[in-house]
């Protein structure tokens, strides 16, 4: 990207902004995925977080990440917002079940 293109972006040039958006699009999460905040199983949550299921299990045991279970000891379910908070270093405000 040239200095002129960067100057156009900084100036708010609509064309330059569109070009920047096109260049960045492959690196951003899918908009549909970001809007859909359904439940993720441990494997899907680990993939979303860029970590392993084992790391999520350790975070669950340490109560560092919020999660839900239908029954105690059952499968864990996560929302993207829980994972994002964990990645920011935030601890759950309530005790996860």
CATH number at residue 76: 1.10.1660.10
Average pLDDT, the chain: 82
User: Average pLDDT of 65-93?
Assistant: 91
Task: Report the domain count for the chain.
Answer: 2
Instruction: For 17-83, give the DSSP string.
Output: HHHHHHHHGGGSPPHHHHH----EEHHHHHHHHTS-HHHHHHHHHTT-S--EESSTTS-EEE-HHHH
**Selected residue with higher pLDDT from 18 and 66:** 66
Instruction: Output b/e per residue, 88-97; b: 16+ Cβ within 10 A.
Output: eeeeeeeebe
**What residue numbers bound the domain in which 1 lies?**
1-31
Q: Is residue 96 part of a domain?
A: no
Q: Is residue 97 part of a domain?
A: no
pLDDT at residue 9 greater than cutoff 50: yes
Q: Is residue 53 part of a domain?
A: yes
Q: Is residue 45 part of a domain?
A: yes
The vertex-12 CA angle with 11 and 15, nearest 5°, equals 115
Whether 75 and 55 share a structural domain:
yes
Whether 14 and 51 share a structural domain:
no
Residue 53 CB burial class (10 angstroms; 0-12, 13-18, ≥19): middle
Q: Is residue 93 part of a domain?
A: no
pLDDT-derived band at 16 (thresholds 50, 70, 90) equals confident
- Model pTM? 0.57
Q: What percent of the chain has pLDDT over 70?
A: 77
Whether 75 and 44 share a structural domain:
yes
- Model pLDDT for residues 21-52, shown as the tens digit of each residue: 788 878 776 655 544 568 999 999 999 999 99
């Amino acid at each position: 990207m040239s200095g002129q293109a960067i100057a156009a972006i900084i100036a708010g040039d609509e064309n330059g902004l569109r070009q920047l958006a096109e260049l960045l699009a492959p690196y951003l999460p899918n908009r549909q995925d970001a809007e859909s905040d359904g439940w993720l199983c441990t494997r899907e949550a680990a993939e979303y977080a860029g970590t392993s299921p084992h790391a999520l299990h350790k975070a669950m045991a340490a109560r560092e990440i919020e999660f839900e279970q239908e029954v105690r000891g059952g499968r864990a379910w996560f929302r993207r917002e829980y994972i994002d908070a964990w990645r920011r270093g935030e601890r759950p405000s309530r005790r996860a079940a």
